[in-house]
Structure 1
């Protein structure tokens, strides 16, 4: 039997109200989640150093470090997604939660029937965002590599009075014969040309 995805998901619950922590813990543990508890923001930050959760559920109104303050720390210092638990559904608070990057929002008193579906939906949303960010990084890297390879091809065209296809084929074949990525060879060519230009300026007295 294949275990459901949420069996291995670890949820950090942060709330100064022990009754709420106990209720949420029991319901989510019964649904197969691993639960970590913290009663304040400072404790939560210490906990994640030892056990990083898949998602954090933060009470907004806590003494000391608020849920919003903790969310800001998570957003800037970690990659842990978070959702909020609040005693109000005020539109300004909800808007602020969205601006902080929350992937979910629950209102107290919590509807026990909605706890698990809300956490599951928030985890799914967090995974979607993570994939989008990863794809964005990969795309940025690919575009940068493409630009540098194109510039190196242009350099070879100018140096050897060739056309772009021939220059690209030569660059690619050189990279393959040396078992190196074409992007790496392209960067090396561009750096060499920059160095030569610097010497050219020195010889010309500039």
Structure 2
């Protein structure tokens, strides 16, 4: 097993023999078990405490079912998870996906099924993180654009200049102060508000 692919794993399963079987297979694949739980509530507690690289959890868990456990975990610590089910049920699998599961396994679990499920969950999670980052950057760019446009408007009114000249003034001020354009724009907006109060 490539050290880069080594994962710290939490397993949550209420059937002892199945739990032991999953643990053994995970370890045989070169990963480390850092926590185990026999009910959904405990799975949430252990996962949030240990912060593993992967959670393998049965859907039908006592106290709190596996899907609700994944949902709770992902609200606080998004991470890849694999749901385990006794039989294929499209409705349950769809619910699990919505909660944030990235792969699923149907019992009895086989090592040849576990390996691709782990790889799929990890790959989908990386994809999810990449998309989330892209979305956050797009949102940040959109927010920055709003501040820059507002600051340009203030400069155009104040100095009776055209938009292109206002942008050049903003860029020059940003360079001179060694600050990001959006930071300079916010400062101009703030200064303008203070002037309006003083008036």
Partner Cα separation in structure 2 for residue 142 and residue 55 of structure 1: 32
Q: 1:111-190, aligned counterparts within 5 Å?
A: 111-190=110-189
Partner Cα separation in structure 2 for residue 178 and residue 197 of structure 1: 24
1:73-113, CA deviations, whole angstroms, 9 ceiling, x for partnerless residues? 11222212322101020222122222222111111111331
Shift of 1:61: 0.8
Counterpart in the other structure of 2:42:
43
Partner Cα separation in structure 1 for residue 37 and residue 107 of structure 2: 18
Counterpart in the other structure of 2:21:
23
1:7-39, CA deviations, whole angstroms, 9 ceiling, x for partnerless residues? 2x2221100112112211222212221223222
Relative to structure 2, which stretch is displaced further, 112-121 or 31-40?
A: 31-40
Shift of 1:197: 2.9
Q: Does structure 2 conserve the Cα–Cα contact (< 8 Å) formed by 1:82 and 1:102?
A: yes
Which TM-score applies when normalising by structure 1? 0.88
Shift of 1:4: 4.8
Counterpart in the other structure of 2:192:
193
Which TM-score applies when normalising by structure 2? 0.91
Counterpart in the other structure of 1:67:
66
Partner Cα separation in structure 2 for residue 97 and residue 154 of structure 1: 48
Counterpart in the other structure of 1:95:
94
Partner Cα separation in structure 2 for residue 45 and residue 145 of structure 1: 37
Partner Cα separation in structure 1 for residue 3 and residue 120 of structure 2: 14
Q: Structure 2 unaligned segments of length 5 or more: list them.
A: none
Q: Does structure 2 conserve the Cα–Cα contact (< 8 Å) formed by 1:27 and 1:116?
A: no
How many residue pairs match? The answer is 198
Q: Does structure 2 conserve the Cα–Cα contact (< 8 Å) formed by 1:15 and 1:21?
A: yes
Quote the RMSD (CA, aligned, Å): 1.8
Q: Structure 1 unaligned segments of length 5 or more: list them.
A: 201-206
Q: Give the 4+ runs in structure 1 shifted more than 6 A.
A: none
Shift of 1:195: 3.0
SS of the equivalent of 1:63 reads coil
1:111-170, CA deviations, whole angstroms, 9 ceiling, x for partnerless residues? 331111111111110111011101111111122112211221121112111122222111
Q: Does structure 1 conserve the Cα–Cα contact (< 8 Å) formed by 2:44 and 2:70?
A: no
